[in-house]
Amino acid sequence: MEEKARFAVGIDVGTNFVRTVLGTVKGEEVSVIGYGEVPTEGMRRGVVKELVPPAKAIDECLAKVEGMSGVKVDRANVGINGAHIGSVKIDGMIAVGVAEHEINEDDIVRIADTAIAGKVPANRETLALVPYEYILDGQGGIREPLGMHGARLELRANVVSALTPDCENLRKVCESAAIEPHGPFEPGVVAAARAVTNSSQRENGVGVVDMGGATTSLAIFDEGELQFVGVIPIGSNDVTKDLATVLATIPDVAEEIKVRFVSAVKGETDRDIVVKRGREEFRFKRKDVEDVVEARLEEIFEGIRKMLTAAGYDRRLPEGLVLCGGGAKLRNIDMFARKQVELAARIAKPSGIIGVSEDILKPEYATAIGLMLGDNERASIDSFDGNNKAKKKQKKPKEGSLFSRIAKLFK
């Protein structure tokens, strides 16, 4: 019998744009059949500041996607963003009984609860738990302890969390837009990693940098697992604002300068920059523009470097950085990144999907595509509620999926 296709949806609620990607999944194949973007208001630095405008933007965006695909969307993997998102390394130990005891699912849930207890403050919501290794009676490096024998079980893991009020507000926005989030919100940059890195890069060590309008986020993967996620509240809109302020021009002209004329590498040419508005002509000295851009980009990459250092990965990522988000479209930003953080750097080109127009194979769609791919993974492993408790019986998770082991924990 032919396998039935199912749908997967990712919604990226950004500061500048809401982006949605809808795919159909048949076996291993994911084809995109609908996508769209709509400018957002009511978001500041990645977090919800007003409830109505972002909900309206999601509504409009879904109308586009539904128009394109003919599919009504009521559930999606929804991304979360903002400097409140963070990850911490945790560990825990439990006694599971006598030496003959066989590790069961209750033990797995209990060790996760014990490890998390007290590590995530009461005003934060746990978004994901990423186990690195289980240690059974002192024997480390165990990835799957279920069914093994032992008396003492230890866990080393990473827990990703976000401020509860910011999650609540995003939930309200989804509710107004009649969207049920499929499980906990996922940090946008973590989702983007699915679309712009492969498993061997995540095994070797890679950093994904989402250069958004108002935020810059970093997700570090090593040994196949998420090691760190962090967000700084500075983004590409700040480059535009600086240009408008220093050059004493309007933001619209500043944006055109940035998008059309700026290179992150200085001194390629010394021709003046000329922007036209109707009959009016605005002329700017190339050096003035480049100095402004350089100063802000340096600040952004210093922030990235601080996060790399905090995570213990400064100059220690063999696969380098993959840059996504609209800000990654600034000309030569990869060269600038390479120089600033002393790592390889490339501009993301989303992959892992078929049947799409070139329209979405762009850095700014990486998050929405990754969320959609994540929705598919979640569909095959089950949905969670906000407290990470499973609602339904799960099917066996796909090996190697980012969520497989988390899913097992909360079965």
Under the rule (CB under 6 A), what is the footprint of ligand ATP? 14-17, 46, 81, 212-215, 235-237, 240, 255, 258-259, 325-327, 329-330, 364
Least distance CB 75 / Mg ion (angstroms): 21
- CB closer to ligand ATP out of 215 and 380: 215
Binder of residue 236, out of Mg ion, ligand ATP, none (CB less than 5 to 8 A by kind): ligand ATP
How many CB atoms sit inside 10 A of residue 28's CB? 6
Binder of residue 46, out of Mg ion, ligand ATP, none (CB less than 5 to 8 A by kind): ligand ATP
| Site residues, Mg ion (CB under 5 A) | 14, 212
Least distance CB 46 / Mg ion (angstroms): 7
- CB closer to ligand ATP out of 60 and 222: 60
CB 348 within 8 A of CB 366: yes
Binder of residue 119, out of Mg ion, ligand ATP, none (CB less than 5 to 8 A by kind): none
Binder of residue 320, out of Mg ion, ligand ATP, none (CB less than 5 to 8 A by kind): none
Binder of residue 401, out of Mg ion, ligand ATP, none (CB less than 5 to 8 A by kind): none
Q: Which amino acid, one-letter code, is at 195?
A: A
- The CA–CA distances, whole Å, from 159 to 32, 90, 199, 343, 387 equal 31, 7, 20, 26, 13
**Residue with structure tokens 């996607």?**
65
- CB closer to Mg ion out of 131 and 212: 212
Least distance CB 327 / Mg ion (angstroms): 9
Least distance CB 328 / ligand ATP (angstroms): 8
User: Crossing angle for the helix pair 52-69 and 164-176, nearest 10 degrees?
Assistant: 50
Binder of residue 150, out of ligand ATP, Mg ion, none (CB less than 5 to 8 A by kind): none
- The CA–CA distances, whole Å, from 248 to 242, 252, 266 equal 9, 12, 21
Cα dihedral 57, 58, 63, 66 in deg (nearest 10): 150
- CB closer to ligand ATP out of 89 and 362: 362
Provide DSSP, 28-57: TEEEEEEEEEEE--SEETTEES-SHHHHHH
Q: Is residue 238 helix, strand or coil?
A: helix
Spatial neighbors of 356 by CB under 8 A, at least 6 apart, are 31, 32, 35
Least distance CB 391 / Mg ion (angstroms): 28
- CB closer to ligand ATP out of 222 and 256: 256
Q: What are phi and psi for residue 205, nearest 5 degrees?
A: 120, 110
- CB closer to ligand ATP out of 125 and 364: 364
Binder of residue 20, out of ligand ATP, Mg ion, none (CB less than 5 to 8 A by kind): none
Residue 360 — left, alpha, or beta (φ > 0 → left; ψ -120 to 50 → alpha)?
Answer: alpha
Least distance CB 315 / Mg ion (angstroms): 26
Least distance CB 12 / Mg ion (angstroms): 6
**Residue with structure tokens 């990144």?**
337
Compute the 3-state secondary structure of the chain and give helix, strand, coil in percent, each to the nearest 5.
35, 30, 35
- CB closer to ligand ATP out of 134 and 365: 365
Least distance CB 364 / Mg ion (angstroms): 7
